[in-house]
Structure 1
Amino acid sequence: MNESADTRAIPCVSRLRGEVAVPGSKSVTHRALILAALAHEECVIENALDAEDTRVTAQSLRRLGVGIHWQGSRICVRPAPHRWVFSPEPMFLNNSGTSLRLLMGLAAVGRGTFLFDGSARLRQRPVGPLADALKPLGVNVRFLGHGSCPPLELQTNGLLAGETLVDASESSQYLSSVLMAATQAQGPVLVRWKDPVASFPYVTITLSMMAEVGLEFFQVEPRAIRVPAPQRLSGFRLEVEGDCSSASYFWAASALTHGDVLTYPLSPSTLQGDCRFLDVLRTMGCSIRWEDRGVRVRGPDRLQPVHVDMNAMPDMVPTLGVVCAFADGPCTITNVAHLRIKESDRLHAVATELQRLGVSVEQYPDGLRIQGPPQRGDAITTYNDHRMAMAFAVLGLRVPGTTIRGASAVAKSFPGFWTALNDLVQQSRKENA
């Protein structure tokens, strides 16, 4: 798609009012696919997110011999005849870091040599700490390019019993990958980890899902879990909850436009760490109310400045950065150095694009200081990063002349985003007429 065809002009709106149905959770869908592939009987995943990243995981599982039948938001997963089918061609994972990390653990429980590769950006995203964690369990990872990044070759004769230490300071997915894989090792595995763990709520999601499908584990120390193995995982049916990350753009849009927006299906009992973004918005002055179907966010007349540690929900930083640009004072975002190895260097990207609009931004190694408001509209570069595209689309609702270059990046996690945003704008115009 050429640049002009992949550019979206964002309409301004005085007050957003309406309802938005959000897709299934990306993080839960990824984990459900991995757990289903480890099962010994057919599994069914309902309300799965159908997006680029989850399709990458599903297609890679097919390459490994897993049966995947995807119809709408329902996926039937059949176990592979053996673990796993070897291919001389690498599994191409595009720019899905989640797919890479979780599939490395999955491949480790098989036997053979497995090759992983991806886009130019994925080749800049390190997985050395995961390779280090798999090594004491008998898995050898050889990096074929620059540094501890793809392309890589993983050699295994099955995951051995034993003990390993995971450094998950860059990504909680290293720890989630080892924990799920450990259930299929040749004997029990003691998984230890260092502090800090980036985005630890995602580990909580992993453990909750493991328990839900019947896998056992025991927390024996504050930073150690013993996993009995090998465990036979029976078939299961799992329903994926709505994605708080996708909903967050509409929460932010309501905050910026003094709006009144309901997002559903969502539950206050969710384990998704990004749901905590609601607490930040409440601190900034938003009204938050849980209802039967989901959560309603009402924006204030004036947004209060915040100073917040975002380590537990780093994916929310581009969205928060946009909201902070309209606060009544300087805001600071801290403890998110690991954002520099996401789909883009998100700290640099957010700072650069806000500065393009006349917002004062100071960039630190692990955060940002933001003082708005925006002075003008302009064409926003997305860096092929879905979260940049959606966050700055929200900003455009308040800043005339904002366009999003690389708008199709949203397909990575929320293919229906532009339709949902347009429908909400149209609902609002009717309500406000």
Structure 2
Amino acid sequence: MIHLSDKNSKIDAVIELTRSKSESNRALILKTLLKDSIHINNLSDSDDTKALMEALNEYQDSDEINVGHAGTTFRFLTAFLAIQPAGSWILTGSERMKERPIKVMVDALRIMGAKIEYLGKDGFPPLKIQGTSFISNEVSIDAGVSSQYISALMMVGTNIQGGLKIRLDGKITSLPYLMMTFSMMEELGVGVSIDLEEQLITIEEKRKVANQVVNIEGDWSAASYWYSLVALGEIGSQIKLLGLNQTSRQGDARIKSYFEQLGVESSFDVGTWTLTKISEPELKLLQLDLSDTPDVAQTLVCACAGLGVGVDFTGLHTLRIKETDRLMALQNELEKFNIRIEVPSNHQLFMKAEQVLSEPKEAIATYKDHRMAMAFAPLAMKAKVAIEHEEVVSKSYPSFWNDLKKVLNVGS
């Protein structure tokens, strides 16, 4: 358990951000598919990326792969292993992973000719995957469940004879993550096109590229916790974030505009984003559709709770199937601060304005979810906070607590 308290209500710090695991994991899959002709700079040191790197290094000599809690890794490997010309693998993970649905992706791969069996409950891990070269080059998939399914198909399309056409059914969720995959493939010289009007993605067959370098940017999802800290500090509080680009392929870079409504100004100069609290928020209710940026939902809800700002968020349908049921977890843990939220449906969360934050008498549970730990930590600007199982942050941001010592008192 870790204990947090306010060190100085006017923040001033410089933070070298952890690198994006989303970019890192895509780069690793593409590097393997394109015959190691890619050099990756600044790879993420997150557990998820380490799990994927280990699996890609060992899959040819192993018949069982356990990815633990790494959901992106599981989804990317499902498609990757399915299109291998030979081999058989059991792909499994933690108990929570076995509760996270994979049916939409398995159905699509099976239609393409993949040989995949469920070893437990239908629609969920673990899977038995038999590699095959008999894969068709057209598939349709429900676009409203997880963008990671589609990104996985896009990347393995490079190794399918004749390439791959992916038809997207329904409203696309987390579109920026698809565009991240598109952008990285295009920059590597892979022929890829996306027609959003027709909802059609076309990937050319490409098994090797000329030597390429991929530079992994800092993680904008991780940046959200520093925005929250600045928002909860005094006017004049400032944090400089290193490692982020001026223009980013990451959808969570939208937090600049979200937190601008909460009084935080962002400015860029010579490789550094400077976050400055210039005012208390004027709005009473923050209304956002977060269907493109669900990973910052917890951060925003906690920040608004600390500021007395109400929220009306939609587009949250993927939060039920993350590392935990994040909507339920937010309800449970904010209640410890005497903050009540309503979840009228699977995609919406509502919190009334001007609720008064109380110091919690119990520790904050993390539910084995890295984002629960990091989203709640900034509330220590307003009240002493204890957080259970603080080690969960290693899933995406291993140095988080050390970095946090620059602005908060952090003790065990």
Q: TM-score, normalised by structure 2?
A: 0.92
**2:340 matched residue in structure 1:** 360
How do residues 346-357 of structure 1 correspond to structure 2 at under 5 angstroms? 346-357=326-337
Q: Residue 258 of structure 2 is aligned with which of 276, 280, 290?
A: 280
Among residues 295, 310, 319, which one is paired with 1:315 in the alignment?
A: 295
- Structure 1 residue 106, shift from structure 2 partner: 1.3
Distance in 2, Cα, partners of 1:49 & 1:207: 20
- Of residues 10, 19, 31, the one that matches 2:4 is 10
Q: Aligned match of 1:125 in 100, 104, 110? A: 100
Tell me, yes or no, if structure 1 residue 405 matches structure 2 residue 391: no
The one-letter amino acid of 1:224's match is L
CA displacement 1:166-219 (0-9 Å, x = unmatched): 213221000000000011002232111123222110111101111111111233
Deviations 1:359-385 (A, max 9, x none): 021123212112333122341001111
1:94 to 63, 68, 76: 68
Label 1:306 to 1:184 Cα distance change in 2 as closer, same or farther (>3 A): same
Alignment of 1:142-181 (within 5 A): 142-158=117-133, 160-181=135-156
Instruction: Report if aligned partners of 2:364, 2:388 keep a CA contact under 8 Å in 1.
Output: yes
**Cα distance in 2 between the residues matched to 1:151 and 1:113:** 13
| Correspondence for 1:233 | 209
SS of the counterpart of 1:415?
A: coil
Q: Output aligned runs, 1:139-218, within 5 Å.
A: 139-158=114-133, 160-218=135-193
Which position in structure 1 is the counterpart of 2:16? 21
Q: Distance in 1 between matches of 2:113 and 2:204?
A: 17
Q: Conserved in 2, the CA contact under 8 Å of 1:92 and 1:118? A: yes
Conserved in 1, the CA contact under 8 Å of 2:246 and 2:271? Answer: no
Seen in structure 2, the aligned counterparts of structure 1 residues 86 and 137 have a Cα distance that, compared at 3 Å, is farther
Matched, 1:299 2:280: no
- In structure 2, the CA distance between the partners of 1:300 and 1:351, relative to structure 1 (3 Å rule), is farther
The one-letter code matched in structure 2 to 1:228 is: E
Q: Which amino acid aligns with 1:177?
A: A
Matched ranges for 1:387-426 at <5 A: 387-400=371-384, 402-425=385-408
Partner of 1:30: 25
Question: Once the 2 structures are TM-superposed, how far is the Cα of residue 269 of structure 1 from its aligned partner?
Answer: 0.9
Once superposed, what is the RMSD of the aligned Cα atoms? 1.7
- Work out the CA distance in 1 between the residues paired with 2:45 and 2:36: 23
What is the one-letter code of the residue matched to 1:277?
Answer: I
Change (3 A) 1:124 1:298: same
Take 1:176 and 1:10, find their aligned partners in 2: how far apart are those partners? 38
Partner of 2:146: helix, strand, or coil?
Answer: coil
Which one of 213, 233, 243 corresponds to residue 265 of structure 1? Answer: 243
Q: Shift of residue 45 of structure 1?
A: 1.0
Unaligned runs of 5+ in 1: 1-6, 65-84, 427-433
**Identity rate, percent:** 30
- For 1:224, the equivalent position in structure 2 comes to 200
Question: Which of 359, 372, 378 does residue 376 from structure 1 map onto?
Answer: 359
Q: In structure 2, what is the equivalent of residue 67 of structure 1?
A: none
Answer whether contact 1:137 1:161 (CA < 8 A) is retained.
yes
* Counterpart amino acid of residue 4 in structure 2: I
> How far 1:300 sits from its partner (Å)?
4.5
Deviation at 1:101, TM superposition (A): 0.7
TM-score by length of 1: 0.88
Q: Is the 8 A contact 1:264 1:295 kept in 2?
A: yes
Give the letter for the 2:160 counterpart.
Answer: A
Pairing partner for 2:78 from 101, 104, 113: 104
Q: Decide whether aligned partners of structure 1 residues 19 and 196 sit closer, same or farther in structure 2, where only a CA change above 3 A counts.
A: same
Aligned-residue offset at 1:230: 4.7
The separation in 2 between residues aligned to 1:352 and 1:27, in whole angstroms, is: 28
Q: Is the 8 Å Cα contact of residues 82 and 116 (structure 2) preserved in structure 1?
A: no
For residue 247 of structure 2, give the secondary structure of its aligned residue in structure 1.
coil
Superposition deviation, residue 221 in structure 1: 6.0
Which of 207, 214, 227 in structure 2 is aligned with 1:251?
227
Distance (whole Å) between structure 2 residues aligned to residue 187 and residue 158 of structure 1: 12
Deviation at 1:352, TM superposition (A): 0.9
Aligned residues: 398
**Is this contact kept in 2: 1:123–1:151, CA < 8 A?**
yes
Residues 158 and 123 from structure 1, CA distance in 2 versus in 1: closer, same or farther, beyond 3 angstroms? same
DSSP 3-state at the match of 1:394: helix
- Cα distance between partner residues in 1 of 2:394 and 2:163: 39
Kept in 2, the 8 Å contact 1:8–1:404? The answer is yes
With over 3 angstroms needed to count, the CA separation of the structure-2 counterparts of 1:192 and 1:313, relative to structure 1, is same
